[in-house]
Amino acid sequence: MPFATEQKIFGFKKEAARGVAESAPSKYLAVGIESELNYRTILIPDDKIRGGYKDRFPSAPGIKEGVGTLSSIDVEASTVGDLLLGCMGSVATVQPDAPNSPTVYRHTFSPFNGLAMPSFTYFVDRGLSKKRYPLTIIKKLALAGAVDGKALVNADLLFKSEEPASAFVSSHGSPKPLMFFQTDLKIDGVTDLDVRSWSLNIDNGSVVQRTLNQSRDARNILSPGKFIIDGGFEIYFESETQRQKFLDVNSAAVNIVLAGDIIEDTFKNQLELILPEIRYTAYPFGNIEGLLGATATFEAHFNFVAGYAARAILTNSTAVY
């Protein structure tokens, strides 16, 4: 009897010691059906010539590698924080009004300037078997929001190895996705009502480190390169101000605010993505459903006044990450 992919369970736990597998997940993610963690071996072919032999001789065992994708995750204030921490690497938490709103916390996620991004152990129950994946690093997040749906995020993962895991039971809260009608996209500090969709990619440049460590698995997963942060939006033309900034190579600022329900007092579950300085890489005249529009793309750059290229500010009821 085969196993249904819809029955798969994805869980994770932040590692107390880097690369040391956790015994069970502490949190769970509702993901798209294409989500998977793939652990595979690479064969080293035998390509030598041996006179009259035209048969292929046995290959030698090569490296093992682990890559994964978590697709179509709803952006929820209660769950997106772990993904932001994993990809951006640094978080500072405060209570904006502890005396009057003690259950409200504000987390500011920023690009981490060190080599070692936070590590997790991920768990997958496929029905057939239960596996865990220590030293899992979130390499890239791709966030997006359309004019008629939920805000979604995809995550690209790198991990060290695959191990058997003990049985676990998932626990999921009531879905509270941040929606299109809760999205406020601001360009240069002003809400722009002509934007139809948006996207933002955050890549921390993580790569696998391999050494002669008496193992076919990687020794570590590190982030030695620069963050690559880019994105774009579809927009109907009402003016050429932003297109002229593209042509003149002048900067703009983009803020994307997704506000959900009330936590306490006037504080809402909210995600704010702040890009104080972008440079457009494309801003063409085009067609959007019969109307003049543009599919603009941009890169986020370091802003000397703000002191950063990108930040994500998440307000929710989670005390610590």
- What pLDDT does 231 receive? 98
- The answer to whether 42 and 64 have CB atoms below 8 angstroms apart is yes
- Note the pLDDT tens digit of each residue in 16-35: 999 999 999 999 999 999 99
- What pLDDT does 50 receive? 85
d(CA 156, CA 138): 6
Whether residue 51 is contained in a domain is answered as no
Whether residue 321 is contained in a domain is answered as no
Residue range(s) defining the domain that contains residue 231: 5-44+57-316
- What pLDDT does 53 receive? 77
Whether residue 49 is contained in a domain is answered as no
- The answer to whether 301 and 251 have CB atoms below 8 angstroms apart is yes
Whether residue 141 is contained in a domain is answered as yes
The residues with which 316 forms a beta bridge, in sequence order, are 105
Residue 97: what residue type?
A: D
Number of domains in the chain: 1
pTM: 0.95
- The answer to whether 200 and 228 have CB atoms below 8 angstroms apart is no
Whether residue 28 is contained in a domain is answered as yes
- What pLDDT does 221 receive? 98
Whether residue 292 is contained in a domain is answered as yes
- What pLDDT does 51 receive? 83
Collapse the DSSP code of 199 into the 3-class scheme (helix H, G, I; strand E, B; otherwise coil) and give the result: strand
Number of separate helices (H) and strands (E) present in the chain: 2, 21
Given the structure tokens 């297109």, which residue do they identify? 243
Alpha-carbon distances of 295 from 42, 282, 286, 287, rounded to whole Å: 40, 8, 7, 9
Structure tokens at 170: 């998932």
Contacts of 292 (CB under 8 A, 6+ apart): 236, 237, 285, 286
Whether residue 50 is contained in a domain is answered as no
**Low-confidence spans in the chain with pLDDT less than 50:** none
Structure tokens at 258: 């997704």
The residues with which 220 forms a beta bridge, in sequence order, are 209
- Note the pLDDT tens digit of each residue in 214-250: 999 999 999 999 999 999 999 999 999 999 999 999 9
Whether residue 80 is contained in a domain is answered as yes
- What pLDDT does 280 receive? 98
What sign has the CA pseudo-torsion 172, 173, 175, 177?
negative
